[in-house]
Amino acid sequence: MSMRLDKYLSNMGVGTRREVKKLIQYGKVMVNKEVVKTIDYKVAEDKDHVMVYGKTIGYAVNVYMMLNKPAGCITATQDTKDKTVLDLVNHKRKKDLFPIGRLDKDTEGLLILTNDGQLAHRLLSPKKHVPKVYYARIKGCVTLADCKLFLVGVTLDDGYKTMPAKLEILSAGEASEVYITIHEGKFHQVKRMFEAVDKEVVYLKRIQMGGLSLDSNLKLGGYRELREDEVQALETF
């Protein structure tokens, strides 16, 4: 498969189409160790060796990033009112990225950003039942009875009965701490599940999606590209 040289370079974040055209015309670009000044020169992404100012520009078709989403920003690519998760990212392929799924505005934690539509489809498919693990602080005393109810599914305010969910109590009292694992992604699902047992979620953070866990060293608002083994862990679903 081949593409125009200017498109190749702009896709890899070297610059805008206009900027990379100037680089090509000024002789700053080499393909297979030869200077190329033709803008529409065709390069094979998987075979040709492209360099700009002596630096190799390898072609990566897909980008995978982990973001530790803070509260206060929305899961969207753009918005005229609120800060989006992509506003937190400074990356050469930023314009290609989109979030897989969504986290509520006030929810923190693991969010995957990518340009891989096939992976997004697999992870979000209702048929896949990809597990998502959350840490939550709850107003009210979470009990073993709640755990048993969640394990068979609870009925939400609109009459929908959820799939079985695993509820693990970390501490219980007037304020409780739990881990909850769900296999679907209904609107405000975790919050509505606890409302169904007369309790309130006061803090929610996603810590795992599929085989990928949130990097504990990643600060709120921080992000990094996924390692190959982490991408493979996601692709098993």
Task: CATH number for 132-209: choose from 3.30.420.40, 3.30.70.1560, 3.40.50.720, 3.40.50.300.
Answer: 3.30.70.1560
pLDDT bucket at 211, cuts 50 / 70 / 90: very high
H/E element, 25: helix 17-25
What mean pLDDT do residues 187-201 have? 97
The pTM of this model reads 0.79
Phi, then psi, of 18 in degrees rounded to 5? -65, -40
For residue 88, give the DSSP letter: G
Which residues touch 127 (CB under 8 Å, ≥6 apart)? Answer: none
The pLDDT assigned to 230 comes to 94
- CATH 3.40.50.300 for domain 64-126+211-235, yes or no, is no
Please say if the pLDDT value at position 61 is more than 80: no
pLDDT band for position 96 (cuts 50, 70, 90): confident
Higher pLDDT, 59 or 178: 178
Query: Cβ(113)–Cβ(65) under 8 Å?
Result: yes
Confidence of residue 60 (pLDDT cuts 50, 70, 90): confident
More confident site: 229 or 92: 229
Start-to-end CA distance of the chain, whole Å, equals 28
Mean pLDDT of 5-17: 83
Place of tokens 């409302």: 195
Domain ranges across the chain: 2-56, 64-126+211-235, 132-209
- Could you read off the pLDDT of 130-157 as tens digits, one per residue? 999 999 999 999 999 999 999 999 999 9
Residue in this structure with the two tokens 């697999």, named with its chain if needed:
122
Mean pLDDT, the chain, whole residue set: 93
Q: Is 77 helix (H, G, I), strand (E, B) or coil?
A: coil
CB of 213 closer than 8 Å to CB of 207: yes
Q: What fold, for 2-56?
A: 3.10.290
Contacts of 142-147 with CB under 8 Å at 24 or more apart are 142/167, 142/169, 142/172, 142/176, 142/178, 142/199, 143/169, 143/172, 144/169, 146/197, 146/199
Q: What is the pLDDT of residue 109?
A: 98
Q: What are 217's two structure tokens? A: 């060293």
| Common-topology check for domains 2-56 and 64-126+211-235 | no
Helices marked H in 52-180: 117-124, 144-152
Residue with token string 């405000």:
188
Q: Determine the distance from the C-alpha atom of residue 128 to the mean position of all C-alpha atoms in its chain, rounded to a whole number.
A: 17
User: Per-residue confidence at 7, pLDDT binned at 50, 70, 90?
Assistant: confident
Query: For residue 27, what pLDDT is reported?
Result: 94
164-181 pLDDT, tens digit each: 999 999 999 999 999 999
User: What is the per-residue pLDDT for 136?
Assistant: 98
Please give the pLDDT value at position 5.
92
SS3 content of the chain, % helix, strand, coil (to 5): 25, 30, 45
Tell me the residue length of the chain: 237
CA 38: distance to chain centroid? 37
Is 206 a residue whose pLDDT tops 90?
A: yes
**Half-sphere CA count of 13, side-chain side, radius 13 A:** 13
Catalytic residue, chosen from 104, 106, 157, 158, is 104
94, pLDDT greater than 90 = no
- Asked if pLDDT for residue 118 goes beyond 80, the answer is yes
Q: What percent of the chain has pLDDT over 90?
A: 74
Supply the pLDDT for residue 73. Answer: 96
Residue 152 dihedral angles phi and psi, to the nearest 5°: -105, -5
Active site residue 40: no
